[in-house]
Amino acid sequence: MSRLLRSKALGGVTALTCGAALVVTASFSVPVAVGTENLPDLMREADETVSIVEVVVADTAELDRLVETGADLDHAVHVNDDGTLTAHVVASPSEELSLTARGFTLASTVHDEGDTEAALAERDATIATARAENQAFAVAAASTSVSDVKVIRADYYTSFGQGYLSVEAKFANGQNVNSALVVERDSGAGTEIGSGGTQNISRFVDAGEYLYHRGSATVATRPDQIRVTSPTGDTVIATVNDWLPIDGDDVYGPNYETDFINSYLTPTELYERIHSLAAEFPEIAEIVELPYQTNGYRRAAQALLGNSNANRVGIDSHAWGHEGGNDLSVETVNPGTPNSPLSVAVNGSVITVSLATDANGTATSTARQVVDAINASPAAGELVVAYTYRGNVGSGVVPATSAALTDGLSAPNSVSRDPHPVYAIRIGKQRDGSQTGVLAYAQEHAREWVPPLVSIEAAERLLRNYQHDGRTKQMVNNLDIWIVPSVNPDGGHYSFYDFASQRKNMTNHCDVTGNADFSARNTWGVDNNRNYDVYSLFDGYNGASSSCTSGTYAGPSELSEPENRNIDWIAGTNPNIKFAMNLHSSGNYFMWSPGAYITPGRISAPRPSLEDESYFWGASSRILTEIKRHRGLSVTPARTGPISDVLYSAAGNSGDMLWYKYGIYAWNFEVGTTFQPPFSNENPTGASAHAESQEFANGLVELFRVAYDFDKDKKKPSSSVVTSSSSEAGMVDLMFEVSEPASVFYTLDGSAPTYESAMYASAGLREDGETLTVPKGTKVHWFSVDAAGNVEKNYRPDGNGKNYNKTTIK
């Protein structure tokens, strides 16, 4: 398949082709919004609660206006019956008032902090249950009559004629002792245990809690019994069972293992998980520490003195909070004597400001005067910097008060406060750049807790099925797979422990003349999916903000953030990578480039060629089919396609960088319907992090299959129309049938079908498509395209081709 050069000239002058040439220089300045001078700021204070609310807009132009406010948008936009659009915005009460003042209509609340608290409580309960079970087992095992090891499962199965034994067992001190358990097996009923050989099983820890030991090994004969020995020498004997085939699994073998996710995982836990996997499977996996460390889960300690904008004084420590800033305090006192001068004293970690008084002993020091006095004091200036509140002149008199400085961070000490390494697990038999590469990465946006689970589930499936599933072995032997479960660990930790709705990283680019004070701490950071260097805000594209407190802040420059430079480094130093999946939530979308446009006129980044668009659509049909197989979820045609078509402009997103700069076929999942759904849900169609992790892992693994099949499939699909009688008079029911998983595009008005035509999301062999009911005499024109981009009959769907399929319904 031919590939287009999509590189962007970096530095100097950038030329972009969007119908007409648009030339943008490096000195591009972001335009200032007009007519908003007297409107309340779109600003979130740290003590406000935050919810996801629906915002109804009249059309796409109004949607673009909403995006341009810098509102913190969820990824869900849907068309209503009356033609209006509903978008989801993450907003506090003050932000809701600001949006209302700008003429936007707010509807119902979709998700609030109570929902997140429930999800965290569920995670805590899961961990607590595992801890309690471990403790109860340890107490029971302390007696002389109970072994300190017990078998949970012992399963025998075959794959391609080879026998396997899979064992799960629990060790009473497994939380603290990182030792393998030894499994001895017999060679059939009545034979001696040990005669069939031995195997070791490894410790499995999830969310910091030990669950059990597990592992599988090939066996020459089916064992009847096993004996498991713990590190203390205690033993237990168990009978081996047959592992029955999985009902309806026609893609992978009957012994294909799935479902390795037990709870939400913090970035620290995600990294621990992939390190453990790489250690367990060193022949086919390794950990890569990416070159750019993040800012770290850390902040200066801060305080605010005063009670109004005019008399407030902001105080920031020079030291990080955990390195001494949190030990500081500041007090302003009235000395109680008339005509006292303003002075500053430091005693250990306490800074005391003695306010100036008048002849009556009344304090007269303004915020500006207090700020200047603190900064002029050598002793105080060595510890802190002071400033007036958000650029205020500081004319108000500062009251007598005191405040302890704090960084406001709540994560336990197990979460590092240092600059954080970002890790990838690299999976493949040959990890030398010689094989087709695939990149999967998650949690660019901190609050999106489900996508990292998808990446971990996919990694587990590749590694744990390698020995006994032929299709998995085929992929691992022939692909070079990079998985980054958390691009943004600092923001991820902040979301789990401090502010669940955190979207961005934790780098504060605001200065003290703006919104750098303690009350603004939940607005800082860069949107990592707006900081890349292709079709960005700095190139004049829409969908990102220059405001340091906006939910879509693009940063001070392209690729300013280490998180973004890491993804750029992976793509730039591994030219074998041809495919990528950016895992996001939410909205159940499946998208690709172009992802940005310029308003007015929606001047888009260049569309893919017909050949490449065919590949995007065809591969998508395979991937979406596998998502649906888990529980029937359909990512609808309306939510499938180029980002700028089905959602809104997202200037500087990673998918565009990978596609245009490096020629990588880059997709974007939007997993589920909310950022932090309950982990488990008994309703099979309801929001569930567990179910979403499984269904979208299906899709991610299918992307690996697409990569494996890359350039191998030259066979074109074929399709036909099947009709049946309709219950409506004068009407006929019709369906399309295809020879393989493929997308079908059709028209019913006699026009030539193109990629802009209606899409019949037929998945061919594994699911039925929709039933269309049309009048007799309808002219149906259509064509199909498969996952390799092969178009039926070599038809060119540019509106000029003639060899599409045609029929008249009788």
Query: Number of H helices and number of E strands within the chain?
Result: 15, 38
DSSP-derived secondary structure letter, 536: -
Q: What is the rounded distance in angstroms from the CA atom of residue 730 to the CA atom of residue 778?
A: 11
Asked, as a colleague might, if the bond just before 421 is cis with ω within 30 of 0, I would say no
Q: What is the rounded distance in angstroms from the CA atom of residue 502 to the CA atom of residue 150?
A: 42
Half-sphere exposure for 677 (CA within 13 Å, toward CB): 24
Neighbouring residues of 641: CB distance < 8 A, sequence distance ≥ 6: 591, 592
Q: What is the rounded distance in angstroms from the CA atom of residue 639 to the CA atom of residue 650?
A: 16
Task: Answer for the pair 340, 354: CB distance below 8 angstroms, yes or no.
Answer: yes
* Residue 473 CB neighbours (<10 A): 18
Task: Show the tokens assigned to 704.
Answer: 């690996």
Is residue 670 annotated as a catalytic residue, yes or no? yes
* Residue 739 CB neighbours (<10 A): 16
Neighbouring residues of 469: CB distance < 8 A, sequence distance ≥ 6: 159, 252, 253, 255, 256
Task: Show the tokens assigned to 505.
Answer: 């990283």
Length of the chain: 810
CA angle 204, 208, 211 (to 5 degrees): 35
The H-or-E segment that residue 809 falls in is none
Q: What burial letters (b/e) apply to 58-79, b meaning 16+ CB within 10 Å?
A: eeeebbbbbbbbbbbbbbbbee
- Rounded to the nearest 10°, the torsion over CA 446, 447, 450, 454 is -10
Q: What is the rounded distance in angstroms from the CA atom of residue 709 to the CA atom of residue 490?
A: 37
Residue type, 672: G
Catalytic residue of the set 184, 444, 613, 670: 670
Catalogue the active-site residues. 670
